[in-house]
Structure 1
Amino acid sequence: MSVTPASGERVHALLTDGTTVCVRLARPDDQEAVLRLYSEMSDANLRLRFFSVSRRSGEQAAARVAQPEDSGYRALVAEHGGRIIGIAEYQIDAGRTAGSAEISLAVGDERHHRGVGTLLLEHLISAARAHGVRTFTADALTDNHEVLKVFSDLGLRAERRFDGPEVHCVIPLEDTEEYRRSVERRGQAADVASLAPLLRPRCVAVVGAGRRPGSVGRAVLHNLTTGRFTGPLYAVNPAATSILGVRAYPGVSALPMIPDLAVIAVPAEKVAQVAEECGQSGVRALLVVSSGLDAHQSRKLLAACREHDMRLVGPNCLGLANTEEGLRLDATFTASHPSRGSAGVAVQSGGVGIALLGGLERLGIGVSSFVSLGDKYDVSGNDMLQWWESDGRTDLALLHL
């Protein structure tokens, strides 16, 4: 893990289902939120975490987050929707082997099997190495199969010693090639999952599609219809009931089906408001072709995406396309549709994108997917490389950054 939360820093990371969480150092004022995490746990999970179902154990564990850093204690929490959904912590015991720390891990009942624990441990390992810790130890019940699997799947050499109903685990924190590959595989899987609503949406809405010929939103809607997008397609315009033969609705919340992807083509001052409405409605990805956002508007846009787990392409971009036959997605405002093929294209400049697509067409090279990154607030060339490596269609990657 290349990024470790420093004091006061918030690191956004992806879970295996593509959900975005915030990982940060625990603070003394987190006691109440951590206690809530434990108080909402089922008796079964409390027993696995504390070896008993005593609620007092949760209170004592929550109180530990108030310890000063020089006590040898460190904790990281994962937040989602303003709530703590997981915590990983270690305590250095001066009486034990030098460079060794005992760890514990807890994840909310409804967040299991999404990679929260593994993500927290990856960050905790980085933090521990930076503070001279070379080995983690942990005690678990033998029937706590989930946490034992988390330890064994990290990519580190975990040793186990069984003692009745308990098992003692020793995990050396060696920076091995196997561990780095494991972290990379997990990161790629999470990244690809988060990009699916963006590049393989089941339903699309164009917000700001106008009735006036020449408007950007109308041009995107035109390409989606003439490109024969295979899923449900809606327009959002409070002053129209139909645009280019596509049913129009007054707002995102009024749509009959929640779109995976919303294309936003409204004036800069309205972008953040529309993004918030999209997030509250359950939209999973945004393509913002609008330009001219100032610093405040940009912060509000990105905050809405973080808060509601939406990936973002743009703003100030040409659009995106995926030529898969079962999808036929052309959410761009280019003059012609890209031909289907095996070249993945990502550009930061819309003008370069138009020129590059034209050049590929003249060479007889088709496109698997095309993304105009624009101001690149979120989705980047690295994300696209991860996607192309796993999409099963891309043989050639072209990046202009």
Structure 2
Amino acid sequence: MLLRDGRAAHLRPITPEDADRLADFQRSLSPESIYFRYFASRGELTAAELIHLTTVDHDKRVALVLTVGQQIIGVGRYESTAPTTAEIAITVRDNHQARGVGSILLEHLAAAGRERGLRTFTGSVLPENERMLDVFTDAGFEARAHLVDGIVELQMDLTPTEESVRVMEAREHRAEAVSIRRLLAPESVVLVGASIREGSFGHTLLSNLRDAGFAGRLSVVHPTAPQISGIQAYQSVREVPDAIDLAVVAVPADAVLDVVRRCSEKQARAVVVISSGFAEDGPEGRRRQEQLVQVARGRGMRVVGPNCLGLINTDPAVA
């Protein structure tokens, strides 16, 4: 799944193994988010609550989590209250709000509910919780809301409408566009594997980036050289002072995974892996490529490659 900012996330059913991650998610919520979820202040989830919340039957009780890496960034769940009706609740980690997490959870909970014969979701939302109200009202489903004792009571028909389909497709299109923009129009690029040896692939990559007049910030990583072709070099990705939009990786295959992990620590959103030695190189390379995909997906990164020639964008504003 792609979030509104182009970051990749993983959507899946909750499992009992998520208890510690759910406890961490609960601890991360601000007092306001806690109040919006429970209509009161409260402390950490108890052991019994964690067992209950992570153990569902995937029929009358369904819960989905959206994760980036090992971190839960959103939880959506419903519990049936009648044969065709269920009550829904969605909570989003504070630093991932306004990124489309709630909309993704609602769309997939609605699909799961329809598959199980549900026709209606109900929900209770505080009037101050404008973001969550927008999630429901902007989803494109037929919805009704009325105020009862200071709480907005919602009813949403799960039957898809032309508007709900349009909203979902538009959300996916926007997220894809942002994600691709990180690849084709980055504001900052780091080249890991730049070489001081003229004629080498690492040196050619750097020359192409520099000579094309890349308009953004360009950094290079080299274990020993203080500078390459007039550009300051850093010994590791960790030392690069700027945020990284795009990392171009041209190191030996057995070093790629560690480099990608280091790039994720710098919040890199996209990686181009030039290096060979992956699926094209037999069973061991295939396993290495599967690990690369897992690492990148788990950290919300888009990957081009491995064993590729790179990217080109002829837009003068970028080049």
Q: Same fold (TM over 0.5)?
A: yes
One-letter code aligned to 2:256 = V
CA contact (8 A) 1:209 1:221 kept: yes
CA contact (8 A) 1:74 1:89 kept: yes
CA drift at 1:55: 4.0
Structure 1 residues 259 and 35: alpha-carbon distance in aligned structure 2, compared to 1, 3 A threshold: closer
Which residue, 235, 247, 256 being the options, matches 1:271? 256
Q: Does 1:178 align with 2:170?
A: no
- Equivalent residue number for residue 289 of structure 1: 274
Which residue, 220, 245, 266 being the options, matches 2:205? 220
Which residue, 6, 26, 36 being the options, matches 2:14? 26
- Equivalent residue number for residue 252 of structure 1: 237
One-letter code aligned to 1:185 = A
- Equivalent residue number for residue 144 of structure 1: 129
Say which SS state the counterpart of residue 322 (structure 1) adopts.
coil
Say which SS state the counterpart of residue 123 (structure 2) adopts.
strand
**What aligned pairs does 1:69-84 form with structure 2 within 5 A after superposition?**
69=57, 72-84=60-72
2 CA distance for matches of 1:46 and 1:300?
Answer: 36
Identity percentage of aligned residues = 36
Structure with greater Cα Rg: 1
- Equivalent residue number for residue 281 of structure 2: none
2 CA distance for matches of 1:279 and 1:153?
Answer: 32
Whose RCO is larger (CA < 8 A, sep 6+)?
Answer: 2
2 CA distance for matches of 1:181 and 1:208?
Answer: 44
Q: Any idea what the Cα deviations from partners look like across 1:53-86, whole Å, max 9, x if unmatched? A: 2448887764432544176111111223412222
Say which SS state the counterpart of residue 311 (structure 2) adopts.
strand
TM-score, with length taken from structure 2: 0.88
Say which SS state the counterpart of residue 140 (structure 2) adopts.
coil
Structure 1 residues 246 and 54: alpha-carbon distance in aligned structure 2, compared to 1, 3 A threshold: closer
CA drift at 1:40: 4.0
Structure 1 residues 61 and 185: alpha-carbon distance in aligned structure 2, compared to 1, 3 A threshold: farther
Structure 1 residues 160 and 191: alpha-carbon distance in aligned structure 2, compared to 1, 3 A threshold: same
> Gapped runs of 5+ residues in structure 1?
1-12, 329-401
- Equivalent residue number for residue 314 of structure 1: 305
> Gapped runs of 5+ residues in structure 2?
279-284
Structure 1 residues 318 and 67: alpha-carbon distance in aligned structure 2, compared to 1, 3 A threshold: closer
CA drift at 1:152: 0.3
Q: Does 1:92 align with 2:80?
A: yes
CA drift at 1:238: 2.1
**What aligned pairs does 1:224-239 form with structure 2 within 5 A after superposition?**
224-239=209-224
Q: Does 1:53 align with 2:38?
A: no
CA drift at 1:242: 3.4
1 CA distance for matches of 2:260 and 2:217?
Answer: 20
CA drift at 1:91: 1.0
- Equivalent residue number for residue 366 of structure 1: none
Farther-moved stretch of structure 1 (100-109 vs 51-60): 51-60
CA drift at 1:35: 3.8
- Equivalent residue number for residue 282 of structure 2: none
CA contact (8 A) 1:38 1:58 kept: no
CA drift at 1:171: 0.7
One-letter code aligned to 2:18 = D
Say which SS state the counterpart of residue 321 (structure 1) adopts.
coil
**What aligned pairs does 1:187-206 form with structure 2 within 5 A after superposition?**
187-206=172-191
How many residue pairs get aligned? The number is 313
Structure 1 residues 24 and 232: alpha-carbon distance in aligned structure 2, compared to 1, 3 A threshold: same
TM-score, with length taken from structure 1: 0.71
CA contact (8 A) 1:291 1:315 kept: yes
1 CA distance for matches of 2:244 and 2:95?
Answer: 25
- Equivalent residue number for residue 241 of structure 1: 226
- Equivalent residue number for residue 117 of structure 1: 102
2 CA distance for matches of 1:39 and 1:268?
Answer: 39
Structure 1 residues 16 and 241: alpha-carbon distance in aligned structure 2, compared to 1, 3 A threshold: same
